Amino acid sequence: MKQVPKILLIYTGGTIGMLLDFNTGALKNFNFDELLTHIPELNLLDCSIATHSFEEPLDSSNMNPEYWVKLVSIIEENYEEYDGFVVLHGSDTMSYTASALSFMMENLGKPVIFTGSQLPIGDLRTDAKENLITSMQLATMQHKGNPLISEVCLYFEYKLYRANRTTKINAQHFEAFTSLNYPPLAESGVELTINREALLVPNRRKKFTVFKKMSSGVILMKMFPGLDEHTFNHMISYSELKGLIIETYGSGNVTTKEWFLKGIAEVIERGIPVINVTQCSGGSVNMGLYETSVALKRLGVISGKDITTEAALAKLMYLLGHGISQKSFRTIFETSLRGEMT
């Protein structure tokens, strides 16, 4: 008998799994075991589907590293049995969770595709069906007996992206995500077109492992005109601070006020890594290009290059969790580990 790929569909929560309760007029989570009754089209796919739902599905605004561990553990426990994983997740923090999982799963050799929707699956105009069905199809694709895609991806509105390159950019449009610094891995039109050159090539000889000790104590600080000395000093004086990300202007620029640069120097002297990421959705940090970033480079601030804020946070928590020494931190952070930077 022909072996069809086995896909595990994991539901964490979010709009996609909600139905309108006609009695109350409110959206509520539907019983996930009945998924196939709501989307009978899934029965037509050439794969076998098993489902797993969080006991209490979440609005993704309540996601946190503890849930990341819960999710990655489900994949770990089922890794050998399934050929691919599709994760249904609220779109609000999907890029954060998917970026985190891209680091937490080491030597991933199978597809883990995150998707969700802007309208609930029960809505007449829903985007959920296409997102879910195509994600499932992509997860089943094989090449010479191996999964074609072996990385953490995010599928939304006809495009498959490398997850740790994505950002949610729209709260209304069906096209809710973008990946400005890396091309889509696949596009769904009349045909499913895979951009093979853009895919990560896994090392199948290395064993798949899962890392669960993401560090706490990181601060994400956005530069803005009006950030004052008092607020800034208050933030950086946090005694449990382990890592600081500054979302800078343009190509990595900041105010050159003395109190600011002195504060950054002190954080670095405490042995705490400081990362420079741009608050632009596209483009790269280039410290030294403008006078307003020269000092950061001299002080030893680490360049996030063209990484997204979401991926920078995940990478920082991951490397701090690994206890990487201060000496090697910059080199490792500035190296692409999962295709998250160019």
Angle ∠(177,175,153) on CA atoms, nearest 5: 45
Distance CA 299, CA 285 (A): 16
7, 11, 14, 98: residue in contact with ligand ASP (rule CB under 6 A): 14
Q: CB 316 → ligand ASP: shortest distance, Å? A: 23
Buried b or exposed e, range 36-60, using 16+ CB within 10 angstroms: eebbeebeebebebebbbbeebbeb
Q: CB 62 → ligand ASP: shortest distance, Å? A: 8
Decide: is 116 part of the binding site for ligand ASP (CB under 6 A). Answer: yes
List binders of ligand ASP among 50-109 (CB under 6 A). Answer: 59-61, 90-92
Among residues 78, 37, 314, the alpha carbon closest in space to that of 333 is found at 314
Comparing CB distances to ligand ASP, the nearer of 176 and 316 is 176
Comparing CB distances to ligand ASP, the nearer of 177 and 182 is 177
15, 102, 134, 181: residue in contact with ligand ASP (rule CB under 6 A): 15
DSSP state of 240: T
Comparing CB distances to ligand ASP, the nearer of 173 and 206 is 173
Catalytic residue among 15, 134, 140, 248: 15
Tokens of 211: 């890392």
Comparing CB distances to ligand ASP, the nearer of 90 and 304 is 90
Among residues 109, 162, 105, 114, the alpha carbon closest in space to that of 134 is found at 114
Q: CB 158 → ligand ASP: shortest distance, Å? A: 17
Report the DSSP pairing between strands 186-188 and 192-194: antiparallel
Q: CB 282 → ligand ASP: shortest distance, Å? A: 23
Q: Which residue is nearest to ligand ASP (CB)?
A: 90
How many CA atoms within 13 Å lie on the side-chain side of 97?
Answer: 31
Q: Respond yes or no: is residue 15 known to be catalytic.
A: yes
Residues that bind ligand ASP (CB under 6 A): 13-15, 59-61, 90-92, 116, 118
